[in-house]
């Protein structure tokens, strides 16, 4: 059964969610931060993999009695090297590098706040990269628990160029 895992050409569909910069996942909190990813991956030899993901990130910033959202819509494409695995092909740790590009909006483009203050941050196109560590645990030959920690560097953001993203998800092996 373990021989059917991480075969070259084997593909997976992944759904992941988590937090950003160690911030709060409580949706009622003014400093709420959340990200979600849908990704497609394909294993190569030695349990290495290519990965293409579509991401949504939202981080809110408290201001008086409200919170101001920053949202990013990004695509990332990367390659992950298998750096650790057990002999039974149940547990893997991969390290990867990705190219990232997308769009960021602050307060959904609205510049004026309820009290007359103006937001100076600009909506912008983003580009950059990410370094990631990704442990995987095969729950079955077709179902994988995935944890991801990524440090993203995105040029173009007027809010923050570095973001640490933490996530957990499930990967479904589709062939």
User: What are the structural domain ranges in the chain?
Assistant: 2-173
Residue 48 CA to residue 44 CA, distance in Å, equals: 5
- The predicted model scores a pTM of 0.87
Instruction: Give 7-58 pLDDT, tens digit per residue.
Output: 899 999 999 999 988 767 666 776 778 999 999 999 998 899 999 999 999 8
Nearest to 108 by CA among 65, 67, 161: 67
Residue 79 CA to residue 71 CA, distance in Å, equals: 25
Average pLDDT over residues 97-120: 88
CATH code for residues 2-173: 2.40.160.20
Q: What is the mean pLDDT of the chain?
A: 90
pLDDT of residue 12: 96
């Amino acid at each position: 059964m373990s021989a059917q895992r991480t075969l070259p050409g084997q593909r997976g569909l992944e759904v992941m969610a988590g937090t950003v910069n160690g911030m709060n996942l409580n949706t009622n909190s003014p400093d709420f931060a959340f990200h979600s990813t849908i990704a497609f991956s394909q294993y190569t030899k030695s349990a290495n993999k290519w990965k293409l993901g579509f991401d949504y990130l939202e981080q809110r910033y408290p201001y008086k009695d409200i919170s101001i959202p920053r949202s990013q819509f990004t695509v990332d494409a990367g390659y992950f090297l298998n750096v650790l695995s057990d002999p039974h092909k149940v547990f893997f740790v991969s390290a990867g590098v990705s190219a990232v590009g997308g769009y960021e909006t602050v307060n959904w483009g609205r510049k004026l706040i309820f009290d007359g203050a103006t937001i100076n941050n600009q909506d912008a196109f983003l580009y950059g990269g990410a370094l990631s560590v990704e442990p995987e645990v095969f729950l079955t030959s077709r179902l994988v628990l995935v944890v991801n920690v990524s440090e993203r560097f995105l040029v173009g953001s007027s809010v923050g160029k570095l973001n640490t993203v933490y996530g957990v998800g499930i990967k479904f092996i589709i062939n």
